Amino acid sequence: MLVARPFFRRTAQECTCRLSPSRYYATAAPIASTSKELLEPAKTKQTRKSDWKRRQEGSNFVDTLSLNIHSGKGGAGGVAFHREKFMAKGPPSGGPGGAGGSVYLIASPSVTSLSHLPRTIRGGPGQPGGGSWLGGKRGEDMVIRVPVGTVVKEVRWEIPSEIEREAAEREELEWAWDASKIRLAEAERRDRRWTAWKKKKEIAEKEGEIWEPFEELDEVEVEEHKQQALERVRKQLFVMYPLADLASHPSFLYSEHQLLSKLLSRQAATTGKKTRRRKTRIVTEEEPLFLDLTKPTPLSDPILLLSGGQPGLGNPTFQSADDRSPKYATKGGDGESMRLEFEVKAGGEVGLVGMPNAGKSTLLRALTSSTPRVASYAFTTLNPHHGTCVLYSDNTFSGPRSPTASISDTSSLPETFSATSQLPSRAERRANSTVPSPAATERTEVLRFTITDNPGLVPQSSLNVGLGYAFLRHVERCSALVYVVDLSSADPVQALESLRTELREYARMKGLDGELEGRIRGVVANKADLFGEGREVDADEDPAMRASAEEGQRKLGELMAYVRGVEKEEIEQGIRKAEDSIWVVPLSAKRRENVEVLVKQLAETVKLERRRVQEAEEEAERLLEEEREAALAKLEGLRSRR
């Protein structure tokens, strides 16, 4: 059997989870006031290009996505009457409809990409209410799970046809309201005449007089287009009992009139005033939604994006002294729609920035247990990779499982570096990996921080050259940045300079002038092992070796001199604080040599950053407290004056 929209339903359910259906809709959603025909946005060329290139690599990582979300329609109320043995005409017994399914959003640490989301997400429709006071089943709620660090933007267009449509809808509602007002007044007048006639008739009968029969009033003419509008709106709003003729029934007309007034006043309110829809809905109607989900959302308190359609009311709701058996119920409210754009800006505490092939991924492998792909060609990494570096009380850190992974014996930064050891043989590595570290059971965790390996930057990335600036976005979120340069390349200083230019240009484009550069905390001079050819040599013995070692020293010296210059310049410009000096660590990520020094530096950097954040939070709290006290003092002063 074919099911309607099987693709959407299935994928939406797979990617989302249910919420407990324990909510009550206190307010009605405006009828058909949300735009349904949302246009496909003009996706920028840049996102399409980089997305396509990434797909070529077979990657299913998606960090930008736009999707349509719709909340479900509410179910109609039931029209039914109770039947029972010896009770031929029971009371009205139609149950209320079920509310439409809402759409929620959760920033979850358990997802890292947007690839699991379908392009359209719909809340389930509410079921209609039944007889015997049975309420309809509520529509299924949808929860969109996105990675922590996602920026959510609502997209709105000023569509002229949409505005015209809404204006036409409102005009129709006004016509219908006019017609209903006239009809109601007419019915009430007839009712009053009927009551008066009956009274007079009773009195007359008592006195034995014959009373003239009741004369109906002439129908008050309602303009035809208004009458038609009323018919149409009636169809949208009400469910009628079969064969019920309610069009001139005063109590029905009264209910109808009230409902129409309510709808009209709500439509008027939404155009001017700020309205709060539900407790968790943060934005006002005027401002498009904007969320920056930097922290995980608690599962108990998901963010409401769209509330489901209002449930219809069953016929017992309309029971009154005048009308003991109302033969109508209301239909459920429409759901709402929204178009959202998601952008994941994931970032660890430390971000690695470098040219392609500089060895960033190798470095992440050396520092953490993350295993990004490493290969000897550019653009191996196309998406950011995260790893966690854990420091233990016995001065070891997670990541390389080798006995040299201790940071106790590295007292100070070496000014020079040359490789002295050979790569361990396979047998050695196996031996190391199987023998557990003796201290492993006793050690405790001291510090833990995340490192992000970003895709390589090429000159003019900030102008969308190469794979574009889509990758620079992940750098924005890192609180500290580290440049990784290949010391064996022809001109490491030149590489560093172009990295700086890219970062500066990107920051300027994003309105973060000088901010990203100020976050640079160090430079890693990678592939230092290539100067010395990885063997323990006596430099005096081999002149070629000595030349190579000298070249390494020279390049490192130049790099350091350049970095000192940059540091001084930035401090003068006010981008950098004087205590944030830029360290330079020569190392070999591949051989995992000298990485301990880097870990030590990173740990200090991270600790300093965390301390700063904490101080800023304390400062903000103190200011708030001061402000509160000042306001209270002012209030006290005002009170005492009275």
Ligand X SMILES: Nc1nc2c(ncn2[C@@H]2O[C@H](COP(=O)(O)OP(=O)(O)OP(=O)(O)O)[C@@H](O)[C@H]2O)c(=O)[nH]1
- Judged by the rule CB under 6 A, the positions of this chain that interact with ligand X are 354, 356-362, 374-376, 378-381, 455-456, 526-527, 529-530, 588-590
Please report the DSSP string for 201-268 in residue order: HHHHHHTT---PPPPPPPPPP--HHHHHHHHHHHHHHEEE-TT---TT-HHHHHHHHHHHHHHHHHHH
Q: How far apart are CA 498 and CA 463, in angstroms?
A: 13
**Selection from 108, 106, 109, 113 nearest residue 142 by Cα:** 106
**Number of amino acids touching Mg ion (CB under 5 A):** 3
Burial class (CB in 10 A: 0-12, 13-18, 19+), 113: middle
Residue 606 touches which of ligand X, Mg ion, none (Cβ within 5-8 Å per kind): none
Residue with the closest Cβ to Mg ion? Answer: 381
3-class state of residue 583 by DSSP: strand
Of the ranges 95-103, 337-345, 355-363, 532-540, which one interacts with Mg ion (CB under 5 A)? Answer: 355-363
Q: Is 380 in the site for Mg ion (CB under 5 A)?
A: yes
Q: Residue 516 is inside which H or E element, if any? A: helix 515-518
Largest pairwise CA distance in the chain = 144
Minimal distance, residue 545 CB to Mg ion, in Å: 30
Smaller CB separation from Mg ion, 331 or 385? 385
Which of 34, 361, 370, 398 touches Mg ion (CB under 5 A)? 361
Minimal distance, residue 437 CB to ligand X, in Å: 24
Q: Is 381 in the site for Mg ion (CB under 5 A)?
A: yes
Smaller CB separation from ligand X, 289 or 499? 499
- The distance of Cα 489 from the centroid of its chain, to the nearest Å, equals 41
Residue 590 touches which of Mg ion, ligand X, none (Cβ within 5-8 Å per kind): ligand X
Amino acid in the structure at residue 364: L
CA dihedral 380→382→388→391, nearest 10 degrees, is: 40
Do 501 and 353 contact (CB within 8 A), yes or no? no
Smaller CB separation from ligand X, 173 or 355? 355
CA dihedral 574→576→580→585, nearest 10 degrees, is: -140
Minimal distance, residue 372 CB to ligand X, in Å: 7
Smaller CB separation from Mg ion, 57 or 536? 57
Q: Is 357 in the site for Mg ion (CB under 5 A)?
A: no
Residue 479 touches which of ligand X, Mg ion, none (Cβ within 5-8 Å per kind): none
Rg (CA), the chain: 36
Minimal distance, residue 286 CB to Mg ion, in Å: 44
Smaller CB separation from ligand X, 141 or 529? 529
Smaller CB separation from ligand X, 16 or 362? 362
List alpha helices for 245-398, DSSP H: 250-272, 360-367
Smaller CB separation from ligand X, 356 or 514? 356
Residue 354 touches which of ligand X, Mg ion, none (Cβ within 5-8 Å per kind): ligand X
Q: Is 16 in the site for Mg ion (CB under 5 A)?
A: no
- Residue tagged 């992940």 (tokens): 474
Minimal distance, residue 358 CB to Mg ion, in Å: 8
C-alpha distance from residue 368 to each of 34, 378, 449, 450 (Å): 49, 22, 10, 9
Minimal distance, residue 343 CB to ligand X, in Å: 22
Q: How far apart are CA 127 and CA 97, in angstroms?
A: 6
Minimal distance, residue 449 CB to ligand X, in Å: 20
Minimal distance, residue 465 CB to Mg ion, in Å: 19
Residue 589 touches which of ligand X, Mg ion, none (Cβ within 5-8 Å per kind): ligand X
Residue 244 touches which of ligand X, Mg ion, none (Cβ within 5-8 Å per kind): none
- Which residues of the shown chain bind Mg ion in the complex (CB under 5 A)? 361, 380-381
